[in-house]
Structure 1
Amino acid sequence: MGPKHWVSWFAMSIAYLLSFLPWSAQQGIGKYLGRFLHLLAKRRRHICDVNLQICYPTMTSKERQVLTKSHFESMGIGTIETFSSWFQPQSRFQSRITFEGQDVVDKVLAEGRGCILISGHFSPLDICGSQMPRFMDVHPIYKLQTNPVMNWVMERQRKAIFSKTIERTNMREVLKSLKQNKAVWYAVDQDYGRKNSVFAPFYGRQAATIAHIGRIAKMTNAPVVLYDYGRTKTGYYLKLTEVENYPSSDDVENATRINELMQSVIETKKEQYFWSHRRFKTQEIAGSPSPYDK
C-alpha cells in the first residue's frame, strides 16, 4: 500500500471499471488499445516480426505487418478480457462459452491418476481459463509476477476460481494434485531457459522446450490432454483432446510432440498467439547471438 505502488493501484482501478462494460464494448476498446500498443511497443513489434520470419519464412513483409497488427489488436482485447476475469463473476460469460470434451474429462479421470492439461499462450488465456473449473477441477501452474499489486490481484482472483494453484517450481504439489485425481494445467510453449529444457523443433527451428511434461506423465502414468481454446466472433470455445501414445522414453521426442501439438492449435488462430514473446531466446549453442538482437 506504499506510495511506490499507488500508480499500480490506480491502474487496477481503471481495470476494475473497464470490466463492467458490455462485452461488445470491451472488444472494441481492446482492439483500439492493441493498436495504440502497436504504435508504442517498438521492441515487442520487433520480437513479433522476428518470430514470424522464423516460423513463416515464405510470408512476405506486408503479410507479417498485417499479422503483427492483428496480433496486437488481439492482445489488447485479451487485456480487457483479463480484467473481466479478475473482477466479474464467471457466470457473466457462461452463455458465450462452447465446451467440447466432457467425454474426455470423464474418461481420463475415471482412471484415477489425474491428468496433465497442456496448452499454449493465447490472448484469451485468462477469460477461457477461468471457465475451466465449470467442467473439471483444474490446478493451474503459474509464475509469480514482478509487480506485487498485479500479483496480489491475480492470486486473489485465481484462489476464488480454482480450488488450488501451484507455483511452477513446486513439483511436490503437482504430484500431490495428480495423486488426488485432479487436473494440473501447464502452458508449455514458452522458453524457460537451458536448465529446464531440451531442444526440439518448433516451426522448423530448434527451441528450448520444457522436458518435464513427459517425465511427469511417465512417473505418474497420468494421461495428457491437449487444451485448445480461443476467441470467436460471439464468444469463446474450449476443447479437450486426449494425447494418445504419450509419453515415449525420449525427452526430445516428447518435446517434439508437444511442439507439434502447439503448432496445430496456433494455425487455427494465428493472431491470438503470443508472438511478441521471445520463444527462441535460448540458443541451442550456448553463446550464440539471439535472433532478437538488432
Structure 2
Amino acid sequence: MDRPVFRGSFLHPRFWLLWLGLGLLWLVSLLPYPVLMRLGRWLGALMYRLARSRRQIAARNLELCFPQWSAAERQRVLRENFASTGMTFFEMAISWWWPPARLRKLGRLEGLEHLQQAQAEGQGVILMALHFTTLEMGGGLLGMQQDMYGMYRPHKNPLFDYVQRRGREQRLLGVIERDDVRGMLKLLRAGGVVWYAPDQDYGAQRSIFVPLFGVPAATVTATSKFARLGRARVIPFTQERLADGSGYKVVVHPPLADFPGDSEEADCLRINQWIERAVGACPEQYLWAHRRFKTRPAGESKLYRKSRA
C-alpha cells in the first residue's frame, strides 16, 4: 500500500507515445462536461465500428443474459453500451484530474448513512462495486465523501499503472493489489472500508459455478471469505450516469443481511442475484465487453467464438 513513486525510467523513449496520449487526454479533460460526454459518444461510435472482437463479445453477452429481448432491442443496447464505453475514457480523466470542487458538482450521493452506521459500530466494510463503465466516477465521487481503500489489479504498463494509481489515490486513502489478501483482511479488521468488485471471471481455481442471468458463471468465493475472516459487512454500491447530462447518481445500498450465510454457494448465488437486479436497472452502462462466461463447467462447450479481427 505504499504510494506510487515516479521513476526515471518513465522518461525512456518507449513511453513517449503514452506520455503524449496522456497529455492530450489531460488537455481535453479541461473542456466542459457536456462536451466531453459528446466526444465520448463519438469515440464509442468509432469503437463500435473498429473493435470487432469486443463488439462480438458484448453482443454475445447480451444474447446470453437477455434472450427475452428482441434482436432490435439488444442492438440498441449494444450501440448505447459502446457510447457509454467511449465516455469512460473521459470520465477516467475527470475522476483523476478534476479539482474536487468541480468534480463534486457532478455527484448525487444517496445512502451514505449505511456506511456511517457501520463505521460508528467499528465494523469493517466490503464496499461491493460492479464493473459498470462508470466505475471510476463512482469510486471518485464516493471517495471524496467517505474514507476508503480500493482493490485493484496492477496494469502491465508500469507508467500507466503509476498514473492510474496516482489518479485513484487523489480520492482514496490508498489501493490494495488484488492478491494482497493479508492487507485486505488487516484493513477490514481495523474497521476500514475497501472498494471491491467480484463480478468478473477470474477462472475456476477460486470460483464455483452458480447461475448469472440463467447461465452457469464462475463466481469468486472471495467475498464470503473476506466477510467472514475480516469480520466485515458487505455493502453494495452503484453509480449511474444520468440521462439529463447533469452528472451521476451514486447509491450506497443497505448491507447484505445475514452475510456470509450457511454456504459459499448460497452466498455466491445471492451476489449474482443482486448483480442481475443492478445490471438490469441500467444495462447500457455495464461492461459487456468482458468475457464473463469464459470459464465453463467441465464438459460444457465454449460460449464465445474466436474472432479473426
Q: Could you say whether these structures have the same fold, taking a TM-score greater than 0.5 normalized by the shorter chain as the test?
A: yes
Deviation string, structure 1 residues 22-42 (Cα, Å, up to 9, x no partner) = 001001000110001000000
State which of 99, 110, 117 in structure 2 corresponds to 1:89: 99
CA offset at residue 289 of structure 1?
Answer: 3.7
Distance 1:205 1:56 in 2: 11
Distance 1:157 1:95 in 2: 18
CA offset at residue 60 of structure 1?
Answer: 2.3
State which of 84, 89, 104 in structure 2 corresponds to 1:74: 84
What TM-score does the superposition give when structure 2 sets the normalisation length? 0.91
Tell whether the 8 Å contact from 2:186 to 2:230 is kept in structure 1 after alignment: no
Q: Secondary structure at the match of 2:174?
A: coil
Deviation string, structure 1 residues 172-225 (Cα, Å, up to 9, x no partner) = 111111122111111111001111211111000010111011112122321110
Distance 2:202 2:116 in 1: 32
- The answer to whether residue 11 in structure 2 is matched with residue 23 in structure 1 is no
CA offset at residue 149 of structure 1?
Answer: 2.2
Deviation string, structure 1 residues 6-63 (Cα, Å, up to 9, x no partner) = 2211111111111101001001000110001000000001001110111011222222
Aligned to 1:247: 260
Aligned to 1:161: 171
State which of 171, 186, 189 in structure 1 corresponds to 2:199: 189
Deviation string, structure 1 residues 119-152 (Cα, Å, up to 9, x no partner) = 1111111122112123221111000112222211
Aligned to 1:238: 250
Letter of the structure 2 residue corresponding to residue 257 of structure 1: R
Alignment of 1:171-250 (within 5 A): 171-232=181-242, 233=244, 234-241=246-253, 242-250=255-263
Letter of the structure 1 residue corresponding to residue 179 of structure 2: T
Letter of the structure 2 residue corresponding to residue 57 of structure 1: P
Tell whether the 8 Å contact from 1:207 to 1:279 is kept in structure 2 after alignment: yes
Segments ≥4 residues shifted beyond 6 Å: none
Aligned to 1:290: 302
Tell whether the 8 Å contact from 2:96 to 2:170 is kept in structure 1 after alignment: no
Distance 1:18 1:269 in 2: 27
State which of 138, 144, 151 in structure 1 corresponds to 2:154: 144
Alignment of 1:89-108 (within 5 A): 89-108=99-118
Percent identity, please: 32
Tell whether the 8 Å contact from 1:113 to 1:220 is kept in structure 2 after alignment: no
- The answer to whether residue 49 in structure 2 is matched with residue 39 in structure 1 is yes
Distance 1:105 1:99 in 2: 12
State which of 287, 290, 295 in structure 2 corresponds to 1:274: 287
Letter of the structure 2 residue corresponding to residue 205 of structure 1: V
CA offset at residue 81 of structure 1?
Answer: 0.7
Query: Runs of 5+ in structure 2 lacking a partner?
Result: 1-10
Deviation string, structure 1 residues 231-281 (Cα, Å, up to 9, x no partner) = 102110111121112111211111111111111111111100001110001
Query: Runs of 5+ in structure 1 lacking a partner?
Result: none
Tell whether the 8 Å contact from 1:119 to 1:262 is kept in structure 2 after alignment: no
Distance 2:26 2:156 in 1: 20
Aligned to 1:58: 68
Deviation string, structure 1 residues 61-91 (Cα, Å, up to 9, x no partner) = 2222111110000111111110111222232
What TM-score does the superposition give when structure 1 sets the normalisation length? 0.96
CA-atom RMSD in angstroms: 1.3
Aligned to 2:269: 256
Distance 1:263 1:209 in 2: 13
Tell whether the 8 Å contact from 2:129 to 2:236 is kept in structure 1 after alignment: yes
